[in-house]
Amino acid sequence: MSIEVTPVSSLRDRREFIELPFRLHASSEQWVPPLRLERHAFLSPRLNKWFRHADAQLFLARRGGRVVGRVSAQVDHEFNRYQGNDWGMFGFFEVEDDPEVAAALLDAAAAWLSQRGRDHMIGPVDFTMNDEAGLLIEGYDREPFVKQPWQPPYYRALLEGAGLGKAIDLWMWELHISDRSSIVQPIVDMAAALEPEHGIRIRRMSRRRLRRELDVFAETYNEAWADNWGFVPYGSDDLDTYAGDLQLVFDRNWFMVAEKVDTGESVGVAITVPDINQVLKRMNGRLLPLGWWHFLRRRKIIDRVRVGFLGVKRDYQHTGVAAAFYIEHFDTASRTPQTWGEMGWILETNDAMNRGMEGMGGRVVKKYRMYERVLPT
């Protein structure tokens, strides 16, 4: 039967778009079902503030009336403005093991982007690089942590068979943070010298002031990450949305700011999130009948964390702020149920951060690949 790729244009289409991975991955031990209500809100231009500076189109592939694949095409105008490029993105790529279907989906996304003047198609990225980004190429046997995608191995063959090439890889490092003996001595020494020699200390963020704390976070993030591949700065609307998301997983133990003792100036941030995926797996995509109960019990369920953001302003990167954050994570793990986790993603080209992970006894356990296709102009 022929393949038909059509834009998502109705609520029924959106439901089928959201439901497809539940069918494709139902037998996988690793895949973690998202909360359906959250996915509907995330894909809604009315509810997701990302759409204020971006456009997107969702597509479904059908064969004989049956949904067999999905993809998105999107243009983030703020990303293009900051990066000074004309890239477009694709994301939400889910498909049966069928090269024809994969090629048809990717061609539809590429055509939509070409019509809007894009010269590259980059992905997969589910709207932004700080949401689910990249295609899993190593670590299929491990469950994804919060905001990490999971895909079966055949997805890689489908993307590469459709002519997409590597743009860059993103690494996830596993760290067991309950034993400080695994840390090399120079990191310990730099952390110990931070306050007496540089007048900088680590404090915890406040849930009550979380939105204001995120302004502090963005000040550091927008400077420290500015040269990273795929970077786009956080704006006010982005922070409003992010604050709401973080309220659901906030744990004061793991949200940290480095600041000057004398002036209160923030010089670094570390946001580590208890892995809510451990709860979502039990909820199986629904709040009812018992999903809410698992969510309320999350503090008894979650024993791992994802270190999502850890950065230092350029002028203070020589002071040992990052080392102090590392030590704080180990000390926190000694008194909380969370004793291990994953850090990243970290760009494969970020030698300083990758050396830091090695210095704490970490190991790379997952790799995600960003792909690209040059589009006709």
Over residues 302-312, the pLDDT tens digits come to 999 999 899 99
Q: Are residues 160 and 38 in the same domain?
A: yes
Query: CATH number for the domain including 122?
Result: 3.40.630.30
Which one of 124, 141, 171 terminates a domain? Answer: 171
Phi, psi values for residue 115, rounded to 5°: -65, -20
What number is the average pLDDT over the span 165-188? 90
Question: Which comes out higher in pLDDT, residue 364 or 235?
Answer: 364
DSSP letter string, 61-129: EEETTEEEEEEEEEEEHHHHHHHTS-EEEEEEEEE-S-HHHHHHHHHHHHHHHHTTT-SEEEE-BSSST
Question: Residue 310: which of 352, 343, 349 has the closest Cα?
Answer: 343
Q: Are residues 90 and 216 in the same domain?
A: no
State which residues form the domain around 246.
178-338
Residue 126 in this model has a pLDDT that exceeds 80: yes
Q: Are residues 7 and 155 in the same domain?
A: yes
- Decide if 371 is inside a domain: no
- Is the separation of the CB atoms in 132 and 126 below 8 Å? yes
- Decide if 93 is inside a domain: yes
- Decide if 350 is inside a domain: no
Tokens encoding 115: 């019509």
Question: Residue 243: which of 225, 218, 222 has the closest Cα?
Answer: 218
Total tally of structural domains belonging to the chain: 2
- For tokens 């969370």, the residue is 338
- Decide if 104 is inside a domain: yes
Q: Are residues 161 and 206 in the same domain?
A: no
Q: Are residues 133 and 164 in the same domain?
A: yes
- Decide if 320 is inside a domain: yes
Q: Are residues 198 and 320 in the same domain?
A: yes
- Is the separation of the CB atoms in 178 and 340 below 8 Å? yes
DSSP H or E segment with residue 301: helix 298-301
Q: Are residues 161 and 192 in the same domain?
A: no
Which one of 116, 139, 171 terminates a domain? Answer: 171
| 17-72 tens-digit pLDDT | 999 999 999 999 999 999 999 999 999 999 999 999 999 999 999 999 999 999 99
Q: Are residues 69 and 154 in the same domain?
A: yes
Q: What pLDDT, on the 0 to 100 scale, is given for residue 177?
A: 83
| 323-366 tens-digit pLDDT | 999 999 999 998 999 999 999 999 999 998 899 899 888 999 99
Q: Are residues 199 and 163 in the same domain?
A: no
What number is the average pLDDT over the span 147-156? 97
Tokens encoding 13: 């289409």
Q: Are residues 331 and 234 in the same domain?
A: yes
- Is the separation of the CB atoms in 333 and 343 below 8 Å? no
Which one of 150, 171, 192 terminates a domain? Answer: 171
- Decide if 195 is inside a domain: yes
Question: Residue 88: which of 59, 107, 116, 60 has the closest Cα?
Answer: 116
Residue 288 in this model has a pLDDT that exceeds 60: no
Angle, helices 321-333/185-198, rounded to nearest 10 degrees: 110
- Decide if 345 is inside a domain: no
Q: Are residues 140 and 195 in the same domain?
A: no
The Cα-based distances of 274 to 279, 311, 346, 375 in angstroms read 10, 19, 18, 40
